[in-house]
Structure 1
Amino acid sequence: MGQSNLGRAINKAAVGLGLAAGLLTASNPAWAEGGSALKLSGAYRADIAGTLSGGLAKRGRVLDDLQIFGDLDLERAVGWKNATAHFQLLDNSGGRPNEDTGSLQGVDNIEVARQRARLFEAWVEQSFGEKASMRAGLYDLNSEFYANESAGLLLAPAFGIGSELAATGPNGPSIFPSTALAARLRVTPNPHVYAQAVALNAHAGVLGDPGGVETSFDNGLLLVAEAGWTGNGKIAAGVWRYTRKQDDLRLTTPDGDPAPATAQGAYLLLERALTRGDRNAPRHATAFARLGLSDGDTTAFHGGWQAGVLVKRVFAGRPDSAFSIGLNQALLSRKYRDNALDDGRRLSGSERAIEVTYADKIGPVTIQPDLQYVKDPGGDRALGHALVAAVRFGVAF
């Protein structure tokens, strides 16, 4: 299982629990009258995950994620009316279970390529009455765009943001684990309708990444717009586009360089409560479905879909119990498959997976066993379908 990784995870968990007392003290500064202007919180997660059959290798991995959050009321702190500031720190380490699975989409949403501490988010929000707000700074696109709340319990990264968007950009868009400088405008003309748009640096980079925060904008912008309705569910649609063209997967210029191609796409989000009454009532169920499409010229994906169900408070006597099942399919682009064929690999048109998970809290610790079955990992028919088991331990403070 990698004892060094397990040891680091245990040490980091101890550090996270030790920080709790300090955060409670720090979040009550004397300069804020009538309550604290600064609120600090944190969360720690540790996963043990392994491929039981199929895939590329059968072994276990240990990986973890420590997060520290800070929210500052700028009106209380410095007199800046209707403004707040937010920051989030990450520290990720451990193994990479997807290396054993061979999945293009991944199987664990806290896996990172570079193990290090990072400044993940740091933005200021200005509200304009109750119907509009602007955020500017280092911003996580998936915190408000292309997101379904009822998909949040699932571990597979595909349920966080569609792979056809997650795979774009020079080093990925502004999502976990590295964000980019951005400006976001959100308008809510009434409690059930919203529209939002954001412009982000196409090159993600934060403190902790090589080169730190990317400020040049030499790679252009990623533009995203989304509008929707929320109530007893959610219906939303979004579009995205990069302002600077990217390398085509297959076409070349007369000089032999990759031809420039426009990376763009669209998505649709649906969510619906399946049971009536209070959302905290026993066995309250919510279903979600999503569909995303992209150009298919610049990444391995030209689209995909995800769907599933979340059941909260599965047992009436266990208020923190939750169960979720999700299905996803990544549609591989023709150009990506043609490139693989040139290398002697015949890929199927998609990678499919199903995930089943259950979470409950014992004392302060949430324990979440998880099972995933990935069919044709990476679209490679030569790989056996992968069965992946994991258990996540989490604590919030």
Structure 2
Amino acid sequence: MLVAKHNLRAVYSALLISALFVQASATQAAATHAPVALERAGEILDSEAGPARDASIADGAPNWQENTLTGDWNGARQRLSNAGVELELLLTADYLRNNSGGFKLGGGTMGHVDLIVLLDGEKLLGWQGGSAFLQLISNSGSRVNLNYVGSLMGVDNIEAPINRSGIFQAWLQQSFLDDKASLRAGLYPIDSEFYVTDSSGVFIHPSFGMSAEAGDFGTLAGPSIYPTSAWGARLRIDPDPAWYAMLAVTRGVPSDRAATAGPNISWQQGSGSMVIGEVGLSPAELGVKVGQTGSTSKDGDGFKPISKLAFGAWRFTPQFPELIAVDTAGDPLITTHWGAYVLGEQTLYRAPESNRNLTGFVRYGFTDGKSNIIDYSVSVGIAWQGLFAGREDDVFGIAATRAHVDPQGRELLAMELGTPLSATAESVVEVSYQAQLAHGVIVQPVIQRIFNPALSLPDSTVAGARLQLAF
């Protein structure tokens, strides 16, 4: 896992060039598939490219032959799974180039490695309802947004302020009430379960994972999200397939350490605490049908439409100083750092007797507007799996997101730049196509148009490709 940085860069570049060549030569025969995830029926290639994934242990063993390059290791993987141990090794390599606007023209390759260990407590130790999860990550390569684009929201969900290797997730979980409730504790990133829409996972722009306003750090601290996680605990209840509720508390990641912190933050090293709750329901499970979506999970053909409507809210303790506002004595005004959100996604159409389907999503979130720069954001998009007949695993996606900066945030940015801003919001449109070249090999060409980067830079056009390998 811990490969020297220059070696990793060379490996990623070679793999990416090779995959692009293979893709070009295979275009006449068939389309291809991309990085997002092979989380079809519980398999493990994450739709958020590794960093932010729901790591719940699937009921059945993954289909390693169809979803990895190395298969079942002559039966060794199945034997490990029977004993309660599952291993996953994922490699993601992105090449992105800023072709216009932003800071300057140019691009680079970025790499990300995930080593994942899932433990079934009952199989391994006789611990009924118990499980454990460990995820080690390693980043390498350039930082395209930091060096070339200058977007407030970023351009790539594997880009990190600094390259680092270490533990990202490490938690124990206890299920109870006949698996209708669970308690999880340890190193826990909230973007593995909260504020998540599955259909936005096809996109590589960071705001389609953890939304921009919730991921924007306040004046004191920010959330436990990729690439720096913090210790915390999460309670989830699923009393019925039609709805769920979650509540989590984690240590805050200090704002002044966000760009230099190690892979995780301890309770002593943190800054305050974050509490977040979410309640969601499934309209499909309640009998609501939109378009020709085929069966629900209650039917028997194996297709389960995406159907989710959720509401969430979060806040930090203690209170935060406002960005620039001061009282008559010149001391910063104090406010509560909080936010709320609503999201929905739904399978809108399903081709008869196939997995080809069209899913849409929409998300809106807002903050207190005084302690962090972004006061609200909105995202909307569609993901069309199996756009072309005979390519049911390929996914085409188009989505847009907009982040609005609050008045104090705009004044702060203008002060730092020393010049007036040209806009009040930054917007991004992304078009992407995931193509599966072979078992465990996904390639994804992508293009983004970024309007008003940092509210002051020329509009940017970013293009490139992602390679994802599952071993």
Compute the TM-score of the two structures, normalised by the length of structure 2: 0.76
- Aligned mates of 2:353, 2:249 — CA distance in 1: 34
Give the alignment of 1:310-325 within 5 angstroms: 310-325=383-398
- Aligned mates of 2:466, 2:353 — CA distance in 1: 24
Question: What corresponds to 1:108 in structure 2?
Answer: 156
Give the alignment of 1:170-181 within 5 angstroms: 170=220, 172-181=222-231
Question: What corresponds to 1:394 in structure 2?
Answer: 468
**Alignment check: 8 A CA contact 2:381 2:400 kept:** yes
Give the alignment of 1:279-294 within 5 angstroms: 281-282=355-356, 284-294=357-367
Structure 1 residues 378 and 27: CA distance shift in structure 2, 3 A? farther
Structure 1 residues 136 and 337: CA distance shift in structure 2, 3 A? same
Is 284-293 or 128-137 further displaced after alignment? 128-137
Amino acid at match of 1:116: R
Structure 1 residues 153 and 37: CA distance shift in structure 2, 3 A? same
For the aligned residue pairs, the C-alpha RMSD in angstroms reads 2.9
Structure 1 residue 4: Cα displacement:
7.6
Amino acid at match of 2:249: A
Q: Does residue 126 of the first structure (1) align with residue 174 of the second (2)?
A: yes
**Alignment check: 8 A CA contact 2:187 2:264 kept:** no
**Alignment check: 8 A CA contact 1:202 1:217 kept:** no
Structure 1 residue 172: Cα displacement:
3.4
Question: What corresponds to 2:216 in structure 1?
Answer: 167
Question: What corresponds to 2:191 in structure 1?
Answer: 142
Q: Where does the alignment leave 5 or more consecutive residues of structure 1 unmatched?
A: none
Q: Does residue 183 of the first structure (1) align with residue 221 of the second (2)?
A: no
- Aligned mates of 1:96, 1:45 — CA distance in 2: 15
- Aligned mates of 2:352, 2:188 — CA distance in 1: 32
Give the secondary-structure state (helix, strand or coil) at the position aligned to 1:335. helix
**Alignment check: 8 A CA contact 2:308 2:345 kept:** yes
Question: What corresponds to 1:40 in structure 2?
Answer: 87
Structure 1 residue 347: Cα displacement:
4.0
Higher relative CO (Cα under 8 Å, sequence separation at least 6) belongs to 2
Amino acid at match of 2:223: P
Question: What corresponds to 1:334 in structure 2?
Answer: 407
- Aligned mates of 2:140, 2:125 — CA distance in 1: 37
Question: What corresponds to 1:7 in structure 2?
Answer: 10
**Alignment check: 8 A CA contact 1:337 1:347 kept:** no
1:340-364, CA deviations, whole angstroms, 9 ceiling, x for partnerless residues? 3443222411001100000101124
Structure 1 residues 308 and 28: CA distance shift in structure 2, 3 A? closer
Question: What corresponds to 1:245 in structure 2?
Answer: 319
1:77-134, CA deviations, whole angstroms, 9 ceiling, x for partnerless residues? 2221111000111001111111211210001000011111120100011001221111
Amino acid at match of 1:357: S
Name which of 133, 141, 144 aligns with 1:86.
133
Higher-strand-fraction structure: 1
- Aligned mates of 2:318, 2:407 — CA distance in 1: 23
Name which of 446, 450, 454 aligns with 1:378.
454
Structure 1 residues 152 and 22: CA distance shift in structure 2, 3 A? closer
Question: What corresponds to 1:295 in structure 2?
Answer: 368
Structure 1 residue 75: Cα displacement:
1.5
Q: Does residue 61 of the first structure (1) align with residue 108 of the second (2)?
A: yes
Give the alignment of 1:219-368 within 5 angstroms: 219-230=271-282, 231=284, 232=305, 233-252=307-326, 256-276=330-350, 281-282=355-356, 284-342=357-415, 343-364=418-439, 365-368=441-444
1:302-359, CA deviations, whole angstroms, 9 ceiling, x for partnerless residues? 0000000001122221232110000000011110112234432224110011000001
Structure 1 residues 125 and 277: CA distance shift in structure 2, 3 A? farther
**Alignment check: 8 A CA contact 2:9 2:111 kept:** no
- Aligned mates of 2:253, 2:185 — CA distance in 1: 16
Question: What corresponds to 1:153 in structure 2?
Answer: 202
- Aligned mates of 1:244, 1:217 — CA distance in 2: 15
- Aligned mates of 1:310, 1:279 — CA distance in 2: 19
- Aligned mates of 2:337, 2:122 — CA distance in 1: 40
Question: What corresponds to 2:252 in structure 1?
Answer: 202
Question: What corresponds to 2:50 in structure 1?
Answer: none
- Aligned mates of 1:10, 1:350 — CA distance in 2: 34
**Alignment check: 8 A CA contact 1:350 1:379 kept:** yes
Structure 1 residue 12: Cα displacement:
9.3
Amino acid at match of 2:182: S
Give the secondary-structure state (helix, strand or coil) at the position aligned to 1:336. helix
Structure 1 residues 171 and 57: CA distance shift in structure 2, 3 A? farther
1:277-314, CA deviations, whole angstroms, 9 ceiling, x for partnerless residues? 679522x0000000000011111100000000001122
Question: What corresponds to 2:24 in structure 1?
Answer: none
Is 215-224 or 356-365 further displaced after alignment? 215-224
Give the secondary-structure state (helix, strand or coil) at the position aligned to 1:384. coil
1:141-198, CA deviations, whole angstroms, 9 ceiling, x for partnerless residues? 1111000000001011011011111012545311111111111001111011001110
Question: What corresponds to 1:216 in structure 2?
Answer: 268
Report the identity percentage: 32
Give the secondary-structure state (helix, strand or coil) at the position aligned to 1:76. helix
- Aligned mates of 1:305, 1:143 — CA distance in 2: 20
Structure 1 residues 39 and 26: CA distance shift in structure 2, 3 A? farther
Amino acid at match of 2:12: A
**Alignment check: 8 A CA contact 2:364 2:377 kept:** yes
Q: Does residue 97 of the first structure (1) align with residue 144 of the second (2)?
A: yes
Give the secondary-structure state (helix, strand or coil) at the position aligned to 1:274. strand
- Aligned mates of 1:44, 1:280 — CA distance in 2: 30
**Alignment check: 8 A CA contact 2:397 2:432 kept:** yes
- Aligned mates of 1:186, 1:147 — CA distance in 2: 15
Give the secondary-structure state (helix, strand or coil) at the position aligned to 2:310. strand
Structure 1 residues 165 and 77: CA distance shift in structure 2, 3 A? same
**Alignment check: 8 A CA contact 2:166 2:263 kept:** no
Amino acid at match of 2:425: S
- Aligned mates of 2:363, 2:234 — CA distance in 1: 23
Question: What corresponds to 2:300 in structure 1?
Answer: none
Amino acid at match of 1:389: A
**Alignment check: 8 A CA contact 2:121 2:128 kept:** yes
